[in-house]
Amino acid sequence: MHMDQEPRTLTNARIDESPSHGYIMVDLRKASWETLGGLPIPAYHNPDDSTERPGQPPYTRGIHEQMYRSRLWTMRQYAGFSSAKETNERFRLLLDRGQKGLSVAFDLPTQLGLDADDSLSQGEVGKVGVSISCLQDMRDLFDQIPLDKVSTSMTINAPAIVLLAMYCVVAEEQGVSTEDISGTIQNDILKEYIARGTYVFPPNHSMRLITDIFEFCSEHIPRWNTISISGYHIREAGSTAVQELAFTLSNALAYVDSALDKGLDVDKFAPRLSFFFNCHNDFLEEVSKFRAARRLWHDLMTERYNPKNARSTKLRFHTQVAGVSLTAQQPLNNITRVTIQALAAVCGGTQSLHTNSYDEALGLPTEESATIALRTQQIIAEESGVADVVDPFAGSYHIEALTDEMYDRARKEIEKIEALGGALKAIEQGYQQQEIHTTAYRYFNEIERGERRIVGVNHGTMDEQLAIQPMKLNPEVAQNQVQRLNELRASRNTEAVQLILEKISTASEDGSNLFPLILEAVRKNATLGEIMAAMKQVFGTYSAPSGF
């Protein structure tokens, strides 16, 4: 997160209190705040003293009092394909066109902790993301990109500890201290068991790696968001908005409990927890979901853990619009879908946002479609007016009722999961997985029967000739990656690599923090697959029970 939007000290700000209207107006990003027609715009309306204000608990109306008046959300475009060098070129293009943060997509072998030359990687290298097997790949990925100036989100889970170590070493080589890098690593393994499937180790060992990251980063990488607890993939798998909210926050509670069991202080790690939500087509439901999420997280954290740091109860989140809503039929219609969803995320108070490209249902986004996706955010920010006021739907009868309903239903669902023993025990029983499957089956049956209309699919259909030419992958990527790995293994100090890998296996067994050893292994040019294999010797691997 993604979560770069932090409170700023107000300088040269004009504060205007109006008792008659009950609001505060503060000028920050602009010289004046007016509608297109010149009408004055307050930062927010506060009809009476009992009305919750933005920036105050339980944060229904936003975690910052001035929100986008102080600073716009971070505009990220999720990118990664083929080789590190090609992805680097796309990163620099997007940065040149106004993107404020990077969001890295990794290919399936990397997500599963496999090197590009592993037999299980054949046919998948560089396909759905960038291939990263070693430190040199990470160097190439961030070539000419100053890591003290750009925040980076990495969508990686099972091998998150290794990829973050590689990122830290590249920053050090640039002369940037780990205390000065900022960004997010997804590091959310529970949703992998629920919805995505790119897990490697058994759940308990995966949780140990997550808390190792919490512990190390709290001391050495203070600006890094150590986890992005993801409802996005839960929603993409077919859940409802309530299920997305409930399952995500339930997973978050499991992470907090695991860290506390390890002896960590809640106020040491909880302020760096972040969330990642989907934004689907139902505009008003999505706005209400984000408002309910903030209130619910504040209440759960306060009631269960009684933290002393207010930031431990603030839900900060990144949003990505719904990939599952994109259609291959009449793909230009997806620009409208993306705009509606992005607008809902902004009205709901997201801290950063990724807008999908209209051609993603057909293949990798082209340069043109990725630019349109970014421009969509910029137009919302600069031309729509919704960023000029905090929580623009506050006080709407419908929005407030939906927010309360979302809160109540999600809380009941979380209580049901707690009765099963918590998120981890419920996952092992297949509860969340079965609930999502049931919901998804019902949704697609509604489409098949025509009860739910999707324009271009079962409504407003027409004969069309596909004119879009999606990007094609370079077939030599896998071959080049294998050659690079062969050269790396021939040139490095094999004995030193073997020694550090043995230390990682030993530490995997004795429970000491693995992060410092993995950093050392990366510096000695151990590969991703080799480091993961050293842990597999102790942790083993995991296969979900049949049918989950």
CA atoms of 428 and 417, how far apart (whole Å)? 12
Say what the pLDDT of residue 173 is: 97
Question: Mean pLDDT for the chain?
Answer: 91
Q: Using one digit for the tens of pLDDT, what is the confidence trace for 384-443? A: 999 999 999 999 999 999 999 999 999 999 999 999 999 999 999 999 999 999 999 999
Q: With a cut of 70, say whether residue 81 has pLDDT above it.
A: yes
Centroid of chain to Cα 370? 18
Domain presence at residue 484: no
Say what the pLDDT of residue 98 is: 82
CA atoms of 241 and 292, how far apart (whole Å)? 11
Q: What is the pLDDT averaged over residues 251-263?
A: 96
Say what the pLDDT of residue 51 is: 83
Q: What is the pLDDT averaged over residues 519-529?
A: 98
pLDDT confidence band for 446 (50 / 70 / 90): very high
Domain presence at residue 506: no
CATH number at 401 reads: 3.20.20.240
Q: With a cut of 50, say whether residue 15 has pLDDT above it.
A: no
Q: Using one digit for the tens of pLDDT, what is the confidence trace for 110-167? A: 999 999 999 999 999 998 899 999 999 999 999 999 999 999 999 999 999 999 999 9
Domain presence at residue 278: yes
pLDDT confidence band for 99 (50 / 70 / 90): confident
Domain presence at residue 296: yes
CA atoms of 323 and 327, how far apart (whole Å)? 9
Q: What is the pLDDT averaged over residues 477-489?
A: 95
* Span of 404-408, 468-472, 540-544 with lowest mean pLDDT: 468-472
Domain presence at residue 128: yes
Domain presence at residue 474: no
pTM score, two decimals?
A: 0.89
If we measure between CA atoms, which residue out of 165, 158, 108, 157 comes closest to residue 134?
165
Q: What is the pLDDT averaged over residues 314-336?
A: 96
Alpha helices in 306-396 (DSSP H): 333-347, 367-383
Q: With a cut of 50, say whether residue 461 has pLDDT above it.
A: yes
Would you list the DSSP string of 291-308? HHHHHHHHHHHHHHH--S
Domain containing residue 105? 73-448
* Helix (H/G/I), strand (E/B), else coil: 432: helix
Both tokens of residue 45?
Answer: 């309306």
Question: Per DSSP, what are the bridge partners of residue 278?
Answer: 320
DSSP 8-state class, residue 121 = G
CB-based contact 149:519 (threshold 8 Å): no
Q: How many CA atoms lie within 13 A of 444 on its CB side?
A: 11
CB-based contact 511:262 (threshold 8 Å): no
- Count: domains in the chain: 1
Say what the pLDDT of residue 55 is: 96
Say what the pLDDT of residue 467 is: 67
Q: With a cut of 80, say whether residue 465 has pLDDT above it.
A: no
Domain presence at residue 160: yes
Q: What is the pLDDT averaged over residues 30-59?
A: 90
Domain presence at residue 9: no
